[in-house]
Chains A and B, each alone.
Chain A
């Protein structure tokens, strides 16, 4: 190994100060310890970006591993002479295990591998969910992939116009509110759709995300083309004793989430009953008893979150399937909208897989380049998408409010007599 070449990085060095973990300190410490020129060069290039206020990464660059169309993103510096150790700095997306649990044996081995093959820089995790290995030169890509698959039994995630690595919340592993097994469904669909994940053939990206309850910790409704959110349809389970304990101040409300400020004593009427969006709760002061009109409940989770030791979601649980969310590019941001408000899901989720194929078949046929499924839905109309494409019966739960303008695109077969008319007959009745 040759001498390390250091760069002056006064602006970047500013970020060593302060209390939040400093990535600059981390990268420099690591670079010094392991004599990694890439660490010094990336800090040098970042300094240059801080001076120019522009990125110094070139546009794209098609690289990958044989047989896969995704999982590796090409990246080249436009400062090849100045920062030769990062001339190529490709990204590998490594598919995270569901709910992001790890054992150190696996993590350490992954670290050893990445220190040997690449820059030693990582993201835990990328926005989609994958572990991101930042900074490999082209010739190391296949070796890294072979190390991953042979020595870690670990695969790459998705990138490009394909199924992206699905992601879920902590699910039943840690949370009492997980209303279906998000990890199992995530894993099962991930494995079933491996081909779609590695070999891009879609108009654009497609994401699955699984949240165990309507609190939606994995932001499924905001960033998944197909969002799965747990919900229930029977009664909220009430432990009246525990409710009284909250009312009497014996248990901190909201599991202690407001502990550092004096909000006054817990007031069940003000903090729960009056805030309930469905106004379906009643606290009987005399009886010291909580009543819920469960058929009116919209399951927002507020009362349960405020009194987790007293209230629990019901036992008749299922999944709300929503479709179409995405961020701004291209046609503006969208949230997912309800496709099926409540379905029971069971491994191996064959009905879900069928639905996915139905959506993909249509989208792959009709979708324009870089058109997300949500945008396609907007283009043809939710009503057509539900009825004509998926064959789903429209129900009020699909909308928040009916349309205001009565411009309706009638189908010919819906109109008595169809659209073929006899003009001569018409004029007989209505002479000019």
Chain B
């Protein structure tokens, strides 16, 4: 088709979209029937007149059009479900319809060919429909056992050239979920650690827990490559956080050119950044000084000011937090707690971090009661018992000294006799 014809066609489709304000419900937006025309944007966008042909504020495609007919028919009518094997959920509707949802882990960071392969699978078994979960799993929905069995066999046989599964089935019930994670070194400017590589290393090691129901409860893992926590890991059963440990540099020669000094000063939650003036080559320059005694290495100053970098390959480390959850099941949502920090950052396989994650998971699996999430189990047995069972060395770093610290002190004589408790007072003193 000539460009003019394509543009005409697109206009026609746009008019159709506008007529119903994009609310395609029973049928899909016909724009998706058109192939992608690579050169057309160059004809539509005119840098000299940037408002010409500009479409804005249309939001995402209306969700109804992407749901399979059987989902539309049974929308809000689902009666019950059973996980018939790890990763496979059978859902039954009031209408009598039955579907099977097959859940697969993905690396989240992927190529369009990986997505196209998902499309191939969805076209073959699911009439082209597919969905993703909040935790980066992909779900294929089929309506018969025959299709289900064929789909499972197909998925299990799809592997990358070096043998890793492309679409491992699992992520349901009392197992570990896919690790919600952030960008890390692949795409972020503030990370202390990588994300995708660490996630791959951990999941390789605990792979069997993803595709099985062996744990006492659902166990949600997460990773954030710095304290910004795009991954919101602060309410996960077990999570990893990248931590900076050196105060920021201050690049006196360029800070006033690249930063708003008052914003850099205001960025510090502890007031550790103050304005200052220095003399460089006889010229007075505005800059800042950092009171390193007060710095808690949150990196917020760097977020606001590029002339205050704090990443450091030698100093940055890993923290493990445990015991958080968001579900209201049995007990209210709770935060994860710091149990281990200062773990070295060890690409490409992070053996120390992986070892501890696996250890925590296995001790939990061995000791928790059925239905007990990690944090609930720990609350029952006591944190001292948790440290004893896992052999995680308790350090002063686990004692809160931030805003709500007092609420975490032990203000009762309720405690358990673990290896941490001594007999003589002198034994409580730090051994030199």
Contacts and interface: CB of A to CB of B under 8 A. Distances in A.
Contact of A329 (B136, B214, B227, B330): B227
Interface stretch (B77-85, B408-416, B420-428): B77-85
Contacts of B86: 259-260
A150 B10 contact: yes
Interface in B156-209: 160-168, 172-174, 180, 182-191, 194, 196-197, 199-201, 203-204, 207
Residue picked from B62, B108, B314, most chain A C-beta under 10 Å: B108
B392 interface: no
A275 interface: yes
Contacts, number: 481
Most chain A C-beta atoms within 10 Å of own C-beta, residue among B266, B303, B333, B402: B333
Interface string B45-56: 101001101111
13 contacts: A16-B164, A60-B189, A95-B60, A107-B119, A142-B45, A153-B58, A172-B76, A174-B71, A175-B78, A255-B173, A299-B328, A328-B228, A330-B269
Interface residues of B, number: 159
Given A25-B162, A124-B108, A195-B57, A108 B113 contact: no
Contact of A121 (B110, B168, B333): B110
A187 B63 contact: yes
Interface string B27-45: 0110111111110111011
Contacts of A50: 185, 194, 197, 347-348
Nearest to A90: B187
B235 interface: yes
B431 interface: no
Contact of B186 (A42, A102, A142, A194): A42
Contact of B115 (A89, A122, A183, A255): A122
A105 B36 contact: no
Interface string A203-245: 0000000000011111111110000010000000000000000
Interface stretch (A27-35, A348-356, A408-416): A27-35
Contacts of B129: 101-104
A151 B34 contact: yes
A261 interface: yes
A315 to B, nearest CB: 12
B326 interface: yes
Contacts of B349: 14-15
A323 to B, nearest CB: 14
A222 B232 contact: yes
Contacts of B214: 260-261
Interface stretch (A110-118, A289-297, A381-389, A390-398): A110-118
Nearest to A53: B313
B235 A219 contact: yes
Nearest to B311: A54
A300 interface: yes
A74 B199 CA distance: 25
A364 interface: no
A120 B328 CA distance: 39
A66 B78 contact: no
B60 A98 contact: yes
Interface in A55-106: 55-60, 66-68, 75, 89, 91, 94-106
B145 to A, nearest CB: 16
A417 B314 CA distance: 65
Nearest to A276: B330
B8 to A, nearest CB: 12
B113 A222 contact: no
B330 A26 contact: no
A27 B111 contact: yes
B217 to A, nearest CB: 8
A147 B313 contact: no
A24 B111 CA distance: 10
B107 A301 contact: no
B378 interface: no
Contacts of B313: 52-54
B256 interface: no
Contact of A330 (B111, B204, B235, B298): B298
Interface in B75-103: 75-76, 78-86, 89, 91, 101
B144 interface: no
- For B28, B218, B348, the residue with the greatest tally of chain A CB atoms inside 10 Å of its CB is B348
Contacts of A103: 28, 32, 65-66, 128-130
Contact of B82 (A12, A27, A123, A255): A255
B320 interface: no
Interface in B102-130: 105-116, 118-119, 122-123, 128-130
B197 A258 contact: no
Contacts of A114: 112
Contacts of A23: 107, 109-110, 196, 200
A169 to B, nearest CB: 7
A173 B67 contact: yes
A261 B105 contact: no
Interface residues of A, number: 151
Q: What 4 pairs between A and B have smallest CB-CB spacing?
A: A257-B173, A18-B204, A53-B313, A59-B306
B165 A21 contact: yes
A312 B174 CA distance: 21
Contacts of A111: 112-113, 115-116, 119
Given A114-B112, A167-B134, A301-B328, 19 more contacts: A12-B348, A19-B164, A20-B168, A21-B106, A26-B110, A42-B186, A67-B51, A89-B187, A97-B62, A108-B119, A109-B35, A128-B230, A144-B41, A194-B59, A216-B333, A220-B326, A222-B234, A256-B84, A328-B234
A29 B197 contact: no
Contacts of B269: 330-331
Interface string B282-299: 000000000000000010
A17 interface: yes
Contacts of A219: 134, 232, 235, 326
B191 A55 contact: yes
A221 B326 CA distance: 7
B66 A214 contact: no
Interface string A168-198: 0110111110100101000100110011011
B106 A258 contact: no
Contacts of B191: 55
Contacts of B228: 327-329
Nearest to A147: B41
A276 to B, nearest CB: 8
A395 B186 CA distance: 48
A216 B326 contact: yes
Nearest to A167: B134
Contacts of B80: 176, 255, 308-309
Nearest to A124: B132
A134 B83 contact: no
A91 B161 CA distance: 28
Contact of A259 (B58, B85, B231): B85
Contact of B122 (A104, A154, A220): A104
Contacts of B189: 55, 57-60, 75
Given A75-B187, A155-B57, A271-B371, A127 B105 contact: no
B329 A302 contact: yes
A252 interface: yes
A342 interface: no
A122 B235 CA distance: 26
B110 A122 contact: yes
Contact of A260 (B45, B112, B116, B212): B212
A277 interface: yes
Nearest to B184: A55
